[in-house]
A and B are shown apart, each in its own frame.
Chain A
């Protein structure tokens, strides 16, 4: 399933880039993120607890940032699994400066398996969008504070 969109931050591009690559900030912003540890540079172990029916459960997984061209673009590759099944994502991210703002463009592909696919697939699009919005909102707040 494809996901794409953009979000505008009221912060300079370098600051946004740093926030996107700082585990502590990411952990706060990712909905349901219980822990996030960088086990190698730009490679992370993550534990996510999601309470939304259809995909509810605890997911443990890894994600990494590859092909990084600071502060302009990178790709994020992640995979996680838990009771409701597994998910794999690959998202390309581009940062551009628009005056005092930074626009983040993203194009992602999500693959799901197990219970999430059998029961929740029709809801995944909506859930993913909702979680992304929460994420960007939290990132905004982190950048403003």
Chain B
């Protein structure tokens, strides 16, 4: 296989071939698509968080010159079905509100007009009669019996709940010397990609086919779910994603309800319809991550050995639950115990609804929520035992000799050396020096803190994990699910140049570049001799339910699927070569661009000659061989298996490692956090392109930095979103970001062709809690516990004032 490939290009900071077209404005996005007679849509959205719709009058809007038609909930209910979702009683989630609205910004009607201006004007002419209902915004309130109920057919606000045990947690807690407890609230924040949702839809009434250009990022299960909602087979719905998507981060898994909505508008009005979401719509109603309330206990021995974890974790999916939720609650099952040898867990997992915007994965997909509680708890435990937080981590780390390691929840950690990576970070930060600085500062009444996070970064979703939302008994009678497949087609032309047909659906990750590096190494070519077409067209690309760029899949499953296709092509090249040389296939090898005799390397035939023969001279090929030179592969990780009867599942198929060490100082006068030192060390196996890795890591850090310090979708007590513009929803810029030093170790994965695995989400999981731990460490002299984010100066200042006055701290609660 590929192990004999020379690594000439892989591992180099080869410049991204995507960048030139983006920098000179030649990228191709959905908004660049202009079709004949195209019309434009605008969406009327609910100003209420919870209300009955008692009537909609669209007559005035329909009379406005230029308006081609109006779509309302009545049409949507008649033309489509609710989206399926993997919970016991699904809410009736359509692409548009039917008789009730459940969050501010929920679509209520669509106008199709000759221009966007006319469409927007026509929205003013629609009269909607609402009957407002009481709202519920807080997780803890939502599960109370007296809470307003969002969905009458469910009868409570709990969408999904599972009790899961790994090992023998009761015994672990009984044997513990010490038990520590915590309560944590993780905020609702998001991704704010540069490109918002975008859809161009056409319906052909003669063939009953939809053609829909859009910017979804996968997983392709959304294609299947949308076809079910539209009541058509998948092969009647063609989705096309152009070459470029302006950022995904998980948010763009949530575009599919709008694909359905605009498709229905196109069908009803018999027009080609374009809809580009505006920024306000995006912030108000696209998709955010869940906010999560966690109660957690750690059981441990006096020496710091952690025996077990008990937790109740409650995710908030907002007004409706939709796929891939309830993944939020189950996605990290396999790595629930993080980087530590912890065998016993007792879990109460809940997914609930409130009158907030709906959710989707957000870079790190709930591992930021998970580690914000577990990594805070490690520090709280260390504090209780009088141990150093670095020492307690070393005490509990999984050791490199234990790899591959099966974690309590079923995750099969493929590779890693956590002690080595953490030690590198400690050396880079000069830990002892900063502890000394801290001591000095405290004597002076200054607040310096050192925060750690050492986390396992799961990449490559195994679709099986979603079925852990069902009990083992329920799973027995439902269709099993498993897999993580990716597909590639490789073609070699008569001159030996290569074209790769991919369907990885990237949103800026640089896949074209890395594909060209990998193929160049495998076939002895220059990357420029490899062209790549990586776009989605469900009519001409091969894909699986799990295809797409999410869950950092490319570096693991993508590269291995690619090399599987390349290897199949190489087998054919070698067969042709041996045939032309008139020798046995075992007597030749493929090396230095030639098929040559093992015994006499000087005698051989070049790949270029073989390619020419394959295309031009079919008669010269072996009799049983197809003409031409192409090969394909659809490869899935062999570890992608369904959950076992104890709910253990390898929820992701490769596991990297990330650690942050952050030194902060809190300004006692303002509550502002200053960053003295920040070291971020990663292990994602083999590094394919260091420049792209650095970009991904810095992007992840910046994303999480925003979540830790600034970003939160805030609501008032009536369910009104207060952060529907960048004036109130604050994202970090280069100006706010401190200097960050990156470090790497490489522990190649034995499960992937090149030993590589995902990295772009890693620091999103580690940064929020590392900052939380640093601030908690800084404020320890005041007895302040950090159990919520974002850590705004205002919040910290108030905590400090209360602590200094000897007043109790307020319990963290959802804003609103």
Contact = CB atoms under 8 A, between A and B. Distances in A.
B222 to A, nearest CB: 27
A111 B47 CA distance: 12
B104 A111 contact: no
B284 A118 contact: yes
Contacts of B280: 115, 118-119
A105 interface: no
B124 A117 contact: no
A102 interface: no
Contact of B722 (A86, A111, A118): A118
Interface in B229-245: none
A119 to B, nearest CB: 5
A61 interface: no
A81 interface: yes
A85 B722 CA distance: 13
A119 B724 contact: yes
B716 interface: yes
Given A113-B48, A114-B47, A115-B280, A121 B124 contact: no
Given A57-B124, A83-B123, A85-B47, A115 B724 contact: yes
Nearest to A114: B47
B104 A118 contact: yes
B728 A114 contact: no
B53 to A, nearest CB: 14
A117 B104 contact: yes
A92 B195 CA distance: 47
Interface in B166-212: none
Contacts of B123: 83
Contacts of A89: none
Interface string B694-726: 000000000000000000000010101111110
Interface in A88-145: 111-115, 117-119, 121-122
A51 B280 CA distance: 20
Interface string B262-302: 00000000000000000010011000000000000000000
A122 B728 contact: yes
Interface string B26-69: 00000000000000000001111100000000000000000000
Interface residues of A, number: 17
A112 B720 contact: yes
Given A113-B48, A113-B104, A118 B724 contact: yes
Given A83-B123, A114-B104, A115-B280, A121 B720 contact: yes
A121 B47 contact: no
A117 B716 CA distance: 9
Contacts of A82: 124
Nearest to B721: A118
A85 B49 CA distance: 12
A121 B725 CA distance: 11
A114 B720 CA distance: 7
Given A113-B104, A114-B104, A117-B104, A81 B720 contact: no
Contact of B47 (A58, A113, A119, A122): A113
Given A111-B718, A113-B48, A117-B104, A83 B124 contact: yes
B48 to A, nearest CB: 6
A83 B123 CA distance: 7
Given A57-B124, A85-B47, A121 B716 contact: yes
Interface in B518-548: none
B773 to A, nearest CB: 33
B644 to A, nearest CB: 46
Nearest to B47: A114
A3 B132 CA distance: 23
Nearest to A84: B47
B123 to A, nearest CB: 7
A126 B46 CA distance: 25
A114 B280 CA distance: 11
B728 A117 contact: no
Contacts of B124: 57-58, 82-83
A118 B285 CA distance: 11
Nearest to B722: A121
A63 to B, nearest CB: 18
A81 B724 contact: no
B725 A119 contact: yes
Given A58-B124, A81-B47, A118 B716 contact: no
A112 to B, nearest CB: 7
A117 B284 CA distance: 11
Contacts of A81: 47
B48 A117 contact: no
Contacts of A118: 104, 280, 283-284, 720-725
A121 B104 CA distance: 14
Nearest to B49: A113
B47 A86 contact: yes
Interface in B732-782: none
A121 B727 CA distance: 11
Nearest to A111: B718
A59 to B, nearest CB: 11
A118 B49 CA distance: 12
Contacts of B45: 114
Contacts of A114: 45-47, 104, 720
A120 B49 CA distance: 17
B56 to A, nearest CB: 13
Contact of B721 (A58, A86, A117, A122): A117
Question: Which of A112, A115, A117, A121 has the most chain B CB atoms inside 10 A of its CB?
Answer: A117
A81 B45 CA distance: 13
A96 B160 CA distance: 59
Nearest to B283: A118
Contacts of B723: 118
Interface in A44-84: 57-58, 81-83
B720 A113 contact: yes
Contacts of A85: 47
A111 B104 CA distance: 14
26 contacts: A57-B124, A85-B47, A86-B47, A86-B48, A113-B104, A113-B718, A113-B720, A114-B46, A114-B47, A114-B104, A114-B720, A115-B280, A115-B724, A117-B47, A117-B716, A117-B724, A118-B104, A118-B283, A118-B284, A118-B720, A118-B722, A118-B723, A118-B724, A119-B280, A119-B724, A122-B727
In the A-B complex, the 10 residue pairs with the closest CB atoms: A118-B724, A114-B47, A117-B720, A113-B47, A85-B47, A83-B124, A118-B721, A119-B725, A86-B47, A113-B720
Given A85-B47, A114-B104, 7 more contacts: A82-B124, A113-B48, A113-B104, A117-B716, A118-B284, A118-B722, A118-B723
Interface of B: 45-49, 104, 123-124, 280, 283-284, 716, 718, 720-725, 727-728
